[in-house]
């Protein structure tokens, strides 16, 4: 039985996100094509009598080790699920910006669930359902636990694999302003989109770069206007990315404020990232590969 386990929590990107309805309890129904990047937080779990957390890394300043941290909440959810008595100390190395639309907290929670299952040798219990994770921890947790590109729908608890897409690189840009997901959803007043996922199957596309970009361009992020009403700087970020040489598509991820541009090659993405970082020192800018399914498992 392991005394120490290390897990990675990869940043996710919403390549498209449509709001398709609203439940009686106020939760919005969505459909989203989610991909993952090679940017990740890292969590080391060490066997302990209780549950505790230390945070380090370049994005630690926006987090605390309080009981409200998603890692603590996820660990307690797993422990309660199995009526466990063991604990763990969590050392989080934070690289994903907080409240950025990249699912950093959800990725940490999903990785924590996996790490606890390994550290505590949980093999014979009933798995925690995605609906439980979505309701208790957040809508992005199920797809982050799924760990590969996917179509997501419902309130985030329903996940199916996405078809392969061509090799692409992206430049992620965050203007350094945290944006509350709840406030963005509250501000949403746009038209509902027609649902596309039927009987557990989502839309498909051609594997060519041009046709995949054409497919994405025919869709949108329904939350963009709502996020702009809260953080107008998003418009500047999108404009700068769109104007970058060789940018194939620019869009906001999740509830923002992080936006991305897609590029056909690593060299194009790296060149643009370097130029943007040099021009806006207060912005968080990274070039990364958009992981293509099914060639990579996040966890």
Contact indicator for 20, 193 with CB cutoff of 8 Å:
yes
Given the residues 12, 79, 94, 130, select the one marked as catalytic: 12
Sign of the alpha-carbon torsion through 135, 138, 139, 144:
negative
Does the active-site annotation cover 12?
Answer: yes
C-alpha 111/C-alpha 109 separation (Å) is 5
C-alpha 272/C-alpha 246 separation (Å) is 9
Contact indicator for 233, 177 with CB cutoff of 8 Å:
yes
Given the residues 41, 108, 130, 140, select the one marked as catalytic: 140
Does the active-site annotation cover 3?
Answer: no
Catalytic residues: 12, 140
């Amino acid at each position: 039985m392991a005394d120490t386990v290390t897990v990675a929590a990869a940043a996710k990107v919403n390549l498209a996100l449509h709001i398709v309805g609203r439940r009686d309890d106020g939760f919005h129904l969505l459909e989203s094509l989610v991909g993952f990047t090679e940017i990740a937080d890292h969590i080391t779990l060490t066997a302990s009598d209780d549950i505790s957390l230390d945070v380090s890394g370049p994005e630690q300043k926006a987090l605390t080790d309080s009981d409200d941290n998603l890692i603590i909440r996820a660990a307690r959810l797993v422990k309660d699920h199995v009526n466990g008595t063991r604990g763990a100390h969590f050392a989080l190395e934070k690289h994903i910006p907080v409240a950025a639309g990249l699912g950093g907290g959800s990725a940490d929670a999903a990785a924590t669930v996996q790490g606890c299952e390994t550290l505590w040798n949980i093999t014979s219990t009933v798995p925690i359902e995605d609906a439980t994770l979505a309701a208790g921890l957040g809508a992005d947790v199920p797809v982050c636990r799924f760990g590969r590109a996917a179509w997501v729908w419902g309130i985030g608890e329903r996940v199916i694999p996405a078809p392969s897409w061509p090799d692409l690189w992206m430049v992620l840009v965050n203007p350094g302003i945290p944006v509350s997901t709840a406030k963005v959803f509250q501000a949403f007043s746009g038209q509902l989109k027609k649902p596309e996922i039927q009987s557990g199957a989502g839309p498909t596309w051609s594997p060519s770069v041009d046709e995949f970009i054409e497919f994405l361009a025919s869709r949108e992020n329904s939350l963009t206007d709502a996020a702009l009403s809260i953080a107008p700087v998003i418009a500047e970020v999108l404009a700068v990315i769109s104007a970058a040489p060789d940018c194939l598509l620019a869009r906001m991820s999740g509830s923002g404020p992080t936006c991305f541009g897609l590029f056909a090659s690593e060299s194009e993405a790296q060149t643009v990232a370097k130029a943007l970082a040099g021009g806006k020192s207060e912005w968080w800018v990274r070039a990364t590969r958009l992981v293509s399914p099914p060639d990579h498992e996040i966890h």
